[in-house]
Structure 1
Amino acid sequence: MKFTSRVCFFASMLVFASCATNPFTGKQTMAFVKNDNLFASSFQQYDTFLEENKIVKGTDDAARITRIGQRIAKAAERYLNANGYVGYLKNYKWEYNLVEDSTKNAWCMPGGKIVFYTGILPVAKTDAGIAAIMGHEVAHALANHGQQRMSAAYIQQGIALAGNVAFTEEQSRDMFNQYYGIGSNVAGMLPFSRSHESEADRIGIILMAIAGYNPEAAPELWKRMETSNTPEILSTHPANASRISELTKMVPTAIAEAKKFGVTSFIN
């Protein structure tokens, strides 16, 4: 067996042996990094972040972030329990903080540590808008997207290392590094990232509906988001128009899922 064939074989075996099941899609996903290690690291990074930034406390907006976050977390637990994943969230340590920053962003780290920046609140506008953002960010954590991205990066780096060993002639090695660097990002990592964003949109809109927030707010939120000039093929995120279209199609599904949990009226 040639060197490159052996590398591909062992890489395939490693991927097969290091998989986890996505509780929302049922699909096998890469899990080279165990959540126990990932969560511990993310909790430490979160604490450091809080020490270095201005946390908003005691305001109505700070209370809204916590209240809506808790409802989304409860909705996630209800959904997971109902679908056979009792105890899935046992190692999550939910925490919600509003940070004074004009950046239009929010994020949830592996294990449930959440930050909203004050800059995104005018874009969210309503509780349902906040819930749409919260549901999306929480979905990234629940679907282990951070774990998958780290695993994919290990594969990308491993193939790069194998290529540099396989190509002993300098010119061939330089060409490999040039084309592999571009190709693995455009054809591999970027589509991978976009698929995670789309998956988080689909999971998030269901979670917000189960939590009692109007899922119609999700596509409306993206109509208010700034549009990027970066072509979708070169972006980590789907184009806004694509997201709006897909979320609009998901609204009836989200309403139907919420109904299974007795939720038939929604907060706007």
Structure 2
Amino acid sequence: MKHTFILILLSIFFIACTHKAPYTNRAQMILISNQQELALGEQSYEKTLKKSKVITNTKESKRVKDIGRKIAQVTKKDYNWEFNLIENSAKNAFCLPGGKVVVYTGILQIAKNDSQLATVISHEIAHALARHGAERVSAGMLSQGIQAISNIVLATQDSKYNKMFNIAYGLGAQYGVLMPYGRLQESEADEIGIYLMHKAGYDLNEAVKFWENMSKGEKENFEFLSTHPNSKTRIENIKKIISKLKLSKK
């Protein structure tokens, strides 16, 4: 049984890890198809728009669309791109699979100019390009699969060991795998986003200023307990990426 368990895991790993993230070329484990991912994104997007107040025909909504389209153009990805501004005080934005970008009005208080808003939108577009949503779904599927198979292996042993395993595995998967995985994706989206901003002609120095704005008044969390890198780490990483780009131009 143990040998079968290992063979199943190795098969899944080698079959799934054939994808590469754009720009970074990081090997990815993706277990769902493009079609499945796009369908999930479309469903979620429609639900979001139905339950939200979409801002249209305003200077700010046009600004979001114009910046989004400019960045989408340099991706050379044939998604059916959409960019919508939604009334919500949260300082947030997101991009669903297939290029469905939503920006909350709250983020406009932080993004002081077009380059800073481009920082947000390019970061979210980067998530879609790198298929981070599909990757997270795949990680969850694998995590649940390992636990289920391990429970079968442990079924012949004392039930208390099975219970202990489930508790320990749940915590281990969350803090040891899924949260670091989330931080890796966020950092990767920052990096890809900077490349997209650069190609679209935006001021990269404003990306640093945007994240500095975001960090004001915010309590720094322990990265170990978060799906996002803390602001200090994020800003330092972005500065390194910008420096590398500037050196490559010389």
Structure 2 length-normalised TM? 0.93
Equivalent residue in structure 1 for 2:164, among 175, 184, 209 = 175
- Structure 1: gaps (5+ residues): 78-88, 261-268
* 1:17 aligned partner: 15
Q: Which amino acid aligns with 1:148?
A: E
* 1:17-75 residue CA offsets vs partner (Å, 9 max, x unmatched): 12322232223311210011110221122122111110000111000000000111112
Equivalent residue in structure 2 for 1:219, among 194, 208, 211 = 208
Equivalent residue in structure 1 for 2:2, among 4, 7, 20 = 4
Distance in 1 (alpha carbons) for counterparts of 2:123 and 2:2 = 39
* 1:251 aligned partner: 242
| 1:37 to 1:256, Cα distance in 2 relative to 1, 3 A | farther
Distance in 2 (alpha carbons) for counterparts of 1:119 and 1:237 = 19
Superposition pairs for residues 196-235 of structure 1, below 5 Å? 196-226=185-215, 227-235=218-226
Distance in 2 (alpha carbons) for counterparts of 1:232 and 1:239 = 6
Distance in 2 (alpha carbons) for counterparts of 1:70 and 1:252 = 26
Equivalent residue in structure 2 for 1:237, among 210, 225, 228 = 228
Q: Which amino acid aligns with 2:68?
A: G
Give the % identical residues.
Answer: 38
- How big is the shift at 1:252? 2.9
| 1:247 to 1:127, Cα distance in 2 relative to 1, 3 A | same
* 1:96 aligned partner: 83
* 2:121 aligned partner: 134
- Contact conserved, 2:40 with 2:97, CA < 8 A, in 1? no
* 2:151 aligned partner: 164
Distance in 2 (alpha carbons) for counterparts of 1:97 and 1:183 = 37
* SS of residue paired to 2:204: coil
Distance in 2 (alpha carbons) for counterparts of 1:6 and 1:74 = 47
Q: Which amino acid aligns with 1:251?
A: I
Distance in 1 (alpha carbons) for counterparts of 2:136 and 2:59 = 35
* 2:67 aligned partner: 68
- How big is the shift at 1:229? 4.0
Superposition pairs for residues 27-38 of structure 1, below 5 Å? 27-38=26-37
More divergent stretch after superposition (146-155 vs 163-172): 163-172
| Residue 41 (1) aligns with residue 40 (2) | yes
| 1:97 to 1:191, Cα distance in 2 relative to 1, 3 A | same
Q: What is the count of residue pairs matched by the alignment?
A: 245
Distance in 2 (alpha carbons) for counterparts of 1:99 and 1:255 = 35
- Contact conserved, 1:194 with 1:238, CA < 8 A, in 2? yes
| Residue 192 (1) aligns with residue 190 (2) | no
- How big is the shift at 1:255? 4.4
Distance in 2 (alpha carbons) for counterparts of 1:171 and 1:14 = 29
- Contact conserved, 1:4 with 1:162, CA < 8 A, in 2? no
Distance in 1 (alpha carbons) for counterparts of 2:247 and 2:133 = 29
- Contact conserved, 1:209 with 1:255, CA < 8 A, in 2? no
Structure 1 length-normalised TM? 0.87
Q: Which amino acid aligns with 1:123?
A: I
* 1:100-123 residue CA offsets vs partner (Å, 9 max, x unmatched): 010110000111000000001111
Equivalent residue in structure 2 for 1:143, among 111, 114, 130 = 130
Runs of 4+ in 1 over 2 A off after TM superposition: 25-28, 226-230, 252-257
Distance in 2 (alpha carbons) for counterparts of 1:141 and 1:228 = 28
Q: Which amino acid aligns with 2:130?
A: A
Distance in 2 (alpha carbons) for counterparts of 1:256 and 1:116 = 32
* SS of residue paired to 2:110: helix
